[in-house]
């Protein structure tokens, strides 16, 4: 029952730390609740089976309050990501109707099975920063067929975080100036995240397609990219790169 107990604790913590006004402004930022599961290698197939069972039951019973998309990465992390509008969304019991429909015993058994697939998991908030994201077509949502994800986490200290955001703004200006074809979404870490960071997420058809896009974009940006990248490196303390795929089979969106 670790999953449910941890979620209850998280909701209490969020009640004590309300969102900033900017986080609630959906014209500039969209908030997401991230549930991150680092799965044991020996339990990957079991975890995916339980996730599929959860999705199937949500579809079967028409659960309206649940809504998430899943990304799995090469290091066997599974990110279940739910869009939220405000604090009230965190107070909603997403699976109360599902528990009633499945029956408490079957429901509890399913979530107990999840808990056997990892030794710890985390929940936190990230914010899609629409002002610092770049999409030449004016569409931030990835297109169909672009299932591959390259996600780069740039960690900073609180003292240097604004400098990182300033560099990100100048990077976007360079992309606009050069009319780059490489789209990206920039997320800012929020409450509950392990450290302060931005995520630059790029979608592609495959890892090979990503490498092609990356090389073409580097050539396009030219030498103007170098001083910006060097300044970014001076103001961060760690870089983490994750490669993965959108998992529509493990995602759920109500009709």
Cα 4 from Cα 16, distance rounded (Å): 19
> DSSP assignment of 131-159, as one string?
TT-B-TTS--SPPTT--EEEEEEEEE-TT
Among the candidates 99, 125, 151, a domain finishes at 125
Q: Which of 187, 171, 179, 186 is nearest to 230 (CA)?
A: 171
Q: Is 50 within a domain?
A: yes
Residues 48 and 116 in one domain: yes
The domain in which residue 56 lies consists of 2-23+30-125
Residue 94 makes CB contacts below 8 A (sequence gap 6+) with 63, 65, 66
Q: Is residue 43 a contact partner of residue 116, using CB atoms and an 8 Å limit?
A: yes
Residues 200 and 106 in one domain: no
Q: What is the mean pLDDT of the chain?
A: 88
Residue 184 per-residue DSSP state: B
Q: Is 112 within a domain?
A: yes
Residues 219 and 145 in one domain: yes
Q: Which of 168, 172, 178 is nearest to 216 (CA)?
A: 178
Residue 26 has pLDDT above 60, yes or no: no
Q: Is 250 within a domain?
A: no
What's the confidence (pLDDT) of residue 58?
97
Counted domains in the chain = 2
Residues 135 and 42 in one domain: no
User: What is the mean predicted confidence (pLDDT) over 21-46?
Assistant: 81
Q: What is the dihedral of CA 52, 57, 58, 60, to 10 degrees?
A: 120
Residues 154 and 237 in one domain: yes
What's the confidence (pLDDT) of residue 153?
97
Residues 216 and 237 in one domain: yes
Intra-chain end-to-end CA distance of the chain, in Å: 29
pLDDT band of residue 138 (cuts 50, 70, 90) is confident
Q: Is 236 within a domain?
A: yes
Q: Which of 202, 224, 226 is nearest to 146 (CA)?
A: 202
CATH number of the domain within which 219 lies: 3.30.70.100
pLDDT band of residue 90 (cuts 50, 70, 90) is low
> What percent of the chain has a predicted confidence (pLDDT) above 70?
85
Sign of CA dihedral 165, 167, 170, 174: negative
Q: Is 204 within a domain?
A: yes
Q: Is 253 within a domain?
A: no
Tell me: the pLDDT tens digits for 153-191? 999 999 999 999 999 999 999 999 999 999 999 999 998
Residue 153: how many CB atoms within 10 A of its CB? 20
Residues 112 and 170 in one domain: no
User: What is the mean predicted confidence (pLDDT) over 55-66?
Assistant: 95
Residues 132 and 91 in one domain: no
Q: Which two tokens stand for residue 254?
A: 């109500």
Residues 168 and 114 in one domain: no
User: What is the mean predicted confidence (pLDDT) over 28-36?
Assistant: 91
Residue 142 has pLDDT above 80, yes or no: no
Residues 118 and 131 in one domain: no
Residue 13 has pLDDT above 60, yes or no: no
Cα 5 from Cα 11, distance rounded (Å): 10
Tell me: the pLDDT tens digits for 193-239? 999 999 999 999 999 999 999 999 999 999 999 999 999 999 999 99
Top-confidence residue, 244 or 6:
244
Highest mean pLDDT among 21-30, 129-138, 155-164: 155-164
Residues 138 and 221 in one domain: yes
Among the candidates 105, 125, 145, a domain finishes at 125
- In 16-109, where do the E strands start and end? 29-38, 68-73, 77-84
Q: Is 184 within a domain?
A: yes
What's the confidence (pLDDT) of residue 21?
35
Residue 161: how many CB atoms within 10 A of its CB? 19
Among the candidates 94, 109, 125, a domain finishes at 125
């Amino acid at each position: 029952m670790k999953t449910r107990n941890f979620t209850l604790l998280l909701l209490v913590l969020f009640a004590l730390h309300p969102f900033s006004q900017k986080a609630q402004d959906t014209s500039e930022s969209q908030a997401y609740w991230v549930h991150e599961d680092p799965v044991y290698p020996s339990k990957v197939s079991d975890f995916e089976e339980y996730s599929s069972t959860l999705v199937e039951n949500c579809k079967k019973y028409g659960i309206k309050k649940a809504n998430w998309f899943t990304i799995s990465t090469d290091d066997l992390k599974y990110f279940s990501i739910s869009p939220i509008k405000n604090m009230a969304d965190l107070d909603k019991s997403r699976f109360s109707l599902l528990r009633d429909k499945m029956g408490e015993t079957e429901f509890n058994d399913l979530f107990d099975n999840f808990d056997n697939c990892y030794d710890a998991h985390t929940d936190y908030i990230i914010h899609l920063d629409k002002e610092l994201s770049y999409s030449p077509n004016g569409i931030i949502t990835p297109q169909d067929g672009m299932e591959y994800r390259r996600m780069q986490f740039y960690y900073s200290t609180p003292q240097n975080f604004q400098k990182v955001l300033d560099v990100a703004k100048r990077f976007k200006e360079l992309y606009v100036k050069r009319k780059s074809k490489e789209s990206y979404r920039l997320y800012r870490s929020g409450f509950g995240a392990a450290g302060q960071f931005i995520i630059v997420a790029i979608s592609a058809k495959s890892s090979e397609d990503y490498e092609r896009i990356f090389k073409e974009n580097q050539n396009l940006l030219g030498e103007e990219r170098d001083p910006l990248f060097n300044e970014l490196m001076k103001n961060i303390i760690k870089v983490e790169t994750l490669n993965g795929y959108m998992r529509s089979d493990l995602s759920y969106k109500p009709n």
